[in-house]
Amino acid sequence: MLRWMMASVALLALSGCPGFGDKTLAELEGIGGDVTYHADIRPIIEARCFPCHTDPAKFGAPNPLANYEQAAAFANRMDIRVVQEGTMPPGGGVLDEEKALISAWVQAGAPEGTALDMGPPDLGPDMAPDPEPDMGPEVDMDPEAPDMAPPPPPTWDDDVQPVMDASCAFPGCHGGAMPQSNLDLTTYAGFLAGGFGGDLTGDGDPARSGLVDRLRARDGLPLMPQGGPPLDEPVIEMIEAWIAAGAPEN
């Protein structure tokens, strides 16, 4: 708490300054080299990076950040995306004090510190696992049974847009005022409009879809998301099923 109060005082002292000069944000806010994962970085990750970067990662996030080993492996990338570029998390929301703590932690070599009695990550009430539902008596799952309706196809609103928001649809990529390749993936209308590469739907054929081409890096095209690992195979298969169903909005 004292460290954060000192950071706030430093921010007030800097108000009105035209720039940071040659000092880092951590230096300006008076944060030393005693920043550790358990004391300082873990609370920021839990507040700003969940639920996408849980273990396993969800909504198309490329990697989990649920423990020290996972966070330390991506420490430099966190510094670039969160502190320097400000492109993560999508929509912003990270305070300058939190950015300064991340910067100081990375500069110090991403020390772990002592876990003490902090226990497992607090996922909050919305992330608590649901109780096992009462499914009633066992049902005959014969696929030829006439009363067994197929599950509904994925939709943009419920299934695809959360993946786009987490992996593609943010400033510097396919979002913001100037989306890359003139392709705006923040809305369903933007997906349908396509970009410089043309239509993404493939007329309902995943094998011809420009979106799937890039998610699988087919035909020599660069892998998307750019600069990161590919989306998990179940996520890509869900998008292919959505394309095959006609890419419904809702």
**Looking at residues 125-137, what average pLDDT do you find?**
58
Dihedrals φ, ψ of 4, to 5°? -65, -35
Q: CA-to-CA distance for 14 and 244, rounded, in angstroms?
A: 55
For residue 211, pLDDT over 70 is answered with: yes
**Looking at residues 196-218, what average pLDDT do you find?**
91
Type of residue numbered 220: G
Judge contact between 120 and 37, C-beta under 8 A. Answer: no
pLDDT tens-digit profile of 80-128?
989 998 888 887 788 999 999 998 989 889 999 887 635 555 555 555 5
**Any residues with CB less than 8 A from the CB of 250 and at least 6 apart, and which?**
155, 156, 157, 158
- Confirm whether pTM is higher than 0.85: no
Judge contact between 200 and 194, C-beta under 8 A. Answer: yes
Question: What is the DSSP track for 60-116?
Answer: T-SS--SSHHHHHHTHHHHIIIIIIS---STT----HHHHHHHHHHHHTT------T
Structure-block tokens of residue 90: 């999508």
Minimum mean pLDDT range among 19-23, 47-51, 59-63, 160-164: 19-23
Q: CA-to-CA distance for 1 and 17, rounded, in angstroms?
A: 26
Q: Residue 135's pLDDT is what?
A: 62
Of 10 and 198, the one with more pLDDT: 198
**Any residues with CB less than 8 A from the CB of 31 and at least 6 apart, and which?**
3, 7, 100, 101, 104
Q: CA-to-CA distance for 209 and 151, rounded, in angstroms?
A: 23
Range 143-149, long-range pairs (CB < 8 A, 24+ positions):
none
Q: CA-to-CA distance for 161 and 241, rounded, in angstroms?
A: 14
Q: Residue 221's pLDDT is what?
A: 84
**Looking at residues 69-86, what average pLDDT do you find?**
91
Q: Mean of the per-residue pLDDT values for the chain?
A: 79
For residue 159, pLDDT over 90 is answered with: yes
Judge contact between 54 and 124, C-beta under 8 A. Answer: no
Of 155 and 5, the one with more pLDDT: 155
Other beta carbons less than 10 A from residue 236's beta carbon: 18
Q: CA-to-CA distance for 211 and 112, rounded, in angstroms?
A: 40
